[in-house]
Amino acid sequence: MADSRLKDLNAELGAEAPAALSALSNEELAQLAACIRQAKRAQKDQIRRAFDSALSHVPFLLRGPLKKMLGG
Amino acid sequence: MPSLAQHAEVLKLARVLDLPPERLEFLEKLDPLAIRELRERASAALFGAEQGTFQRIASASKQIPAGLSAVLAERAFGSLLCARLTGLLAPDRAVDVARRLHTGFLADVCLQLDPRTSHNVLQAMPANRIAEVAAELANRGEYITMGRFVDNISDEAIHATAEALEDEALLRIGLFVENDARLSAIMHDLPRERLQGVVRAAVEGDEELWQEAVALIQRLDEALRRRMADLAAEMEEASIQRMIEATHEQDLWMDMLGIIAIMNPQNQRRLVELSLLQEEHMVGTVLRTAEVHDLWHHLLPMLGHIEDEARERLAGIAAAHAPAAVERIRSGRSPEGAGKSPKRRGK
């Protein structure tokens, strides 16, 4: 069980978690993986929103250069 | 109870994950280094996402004048995207854009920046610009963020920043500097009056600040520990009393005995005369601490500074609080083997 929790955490990190984290309980490992998952999702949403904002809220004259920068 | 180092690492991780620190409190039982490693991996996972898109933007931005890039950065991209882009820009280009951005916006960017991946940009940034942003971050109380940057900015920028900040801010940033050798090197370069100001800020600050300052002193190299210890002993009498009271109230005698032990003999004498012998309950606690933690090698040399009458009074207090210490105090000798391997409290 602990192994599968650790695997979930490793998957979220995209790397092996530090060995000392084996001192955490199953619940704590799951909680940590959930925190990292949430942070990744929140960041992804934030970036998407920032891109959308970049395209829709800048003055007309700036849209061309901005689209160029975003590769659009 | 977690140590300051454990708590600080959890705060830094919470900042990276943009979560309230309470959600990660269960990590405070781990070794601080393990929490730091976890933060580095979490940071890499977050900053690695959508790297291709950011790389494309960074490349495309080369074709746009720096002035326009600065306008786009503040009006369109915002601090998060700029933080992600910073490490991907050529340092000269990043500096050119940064000098056109508002200081407050750059401070926002710093909160979300990974200093390690932006090392080259930070090294290239003019010292005065860094100092301006640091002053803004200090105004906001963002000491954790500032501590993370110390390893990645130039010595010149460190000096400019130190000049721009109050003594208390220097202390609070120092608590979060990650590299002890770098921390010592920076503090060695500070003039005596700034170090004195840092010690005074620790003593005159809120209750927790002295405790944190004591922990900070333990991380410094030996020469600097001695210097800080002597500066503490050279403060005016009221500050010394306050320092001793704070040490007593926060149960810091174990660490403080080590600090007093490295003061020069004149300062030790001053401290003993001004404070240690004034309050019986305090003396009792000091003696018990020396007994329980095997710190007689720290304490006995200091007793050489007191007169026989005072020594006898001390022995009397010891009889009530630490009976095994009576003979040691009277003879002024450390028992055989004592102090060769002092027990340390886990921090």
Q: What one-character DSSP code corresponds to residue B136?
A: H
Render pLDDT for A18-70 as a digit per residue (tens, 0 to 9). 999 999 999 999 999 999 999 999 988 888 877 777 777 667 777 777 666 66
b/e B147-177 (16+ beta carbons within 10 angstroms → b): bbbbebbeeebbebbbebbebbbbbbbbbbb
What pLDDT score was predicted for residue B345?
41
Query: Mind giving me the DSSP string for B22-43?
Result: GGGGGGGGS-HHHHHHHHHHHH
Which is higher by pLDDT, A13 or B280? A13
Categorize the per-residue pLDDT at B338 as very low, low, confident or very high, splitting at 50, 70 and 90. Answer: very low
Query: Which residues 246-265 of chain B have a CB within 8 Å of chain A?
Result: none
Of B134-143, B275-284, B338-347, give the lowest mean pLDDT range: B338-347
* pLDDT of B232 higher than 90: yes
Span B296-324, average pLDDT: 82
Write out chain B residues lying below 8 Å of A50, CB-based. Answer: 77-78, 80-81
- How high is the pLDDT of residue B69? 87
Q: Is pLDDT at B343 greater than 50 in this prediction?
A: no
Higher pLDDT, B330 or B234: B234
List pLDDT tens digits, range B149-170. Answer: 999 999 999 999 999 999 999 9
Using alpha carbons only, give the angle A66, A68, A71 rounded to the nearest 5 degrees: 110
* Whole-angstrom distance, CA of residue B87 vs CA of residue B76: 19
pLDDT at A43: 85
User: pTM to 2 decimals?
Assistant: 0.81
Q: Tell me the nearest-neighbour CA distance from A31 into chain B, angstroms.
A: 9
Which candidate, A11, A39, A56, places its Cα nearest to that of B14? A39
Specify the pLDDT at position B164. Answer: 96
B38 touches chain A (CB under 8 A): yes
Higher-confidence residue: B339 or A72?
Answer: A72
The answer to whether the CB of B79 falls within 8 A of the CB of B112 is: yes
Residues 272-331, chain B, touching A (beta carbon < 8 A): none
Per-residue confidence (pLDDT) for residue B228, from 0 to 100: 95
Which position has the higher pLDDT, B343 or B157? B157
d(C-alpha B134, C-alpha B110), whole Å: 9
Contacts of B53 in chain A (CB under 8 A): 71
Look up tokens 């007093």; give the residue: B260
Residue to substitute from B10, B61, B77, interface A, most A β-carbons within 10 A: B77
- Whole-number pLDDT of residue A72: 52
Model ipTM value: 0.85
Whether A36 sits inside 8 A of B42 (CB atoms) is: yes
pLDDT for res B206? 81
- Determine the pLDDT at residue B163: 94
Question: Which pLDDT does position B101 carry in this prediction?
Answer: 97
**pLDDT at residue B129 greater than cutoff 90:** yes
Question: Interior CA angle at B33 toward B253 and B216, to 5°?
Answer: 35
Question: Does A13 sit within 8 Å of B41, measured CB to CB?
Answer: yes
State the average pLDDT over residues B106-114.
Answer: 93
Is residue B187 pLDDT above 90, yes or no?
yes
- The encoded tokens of residue B160 equal 């400019």
Whole-number pLDDT of residue A69: 64
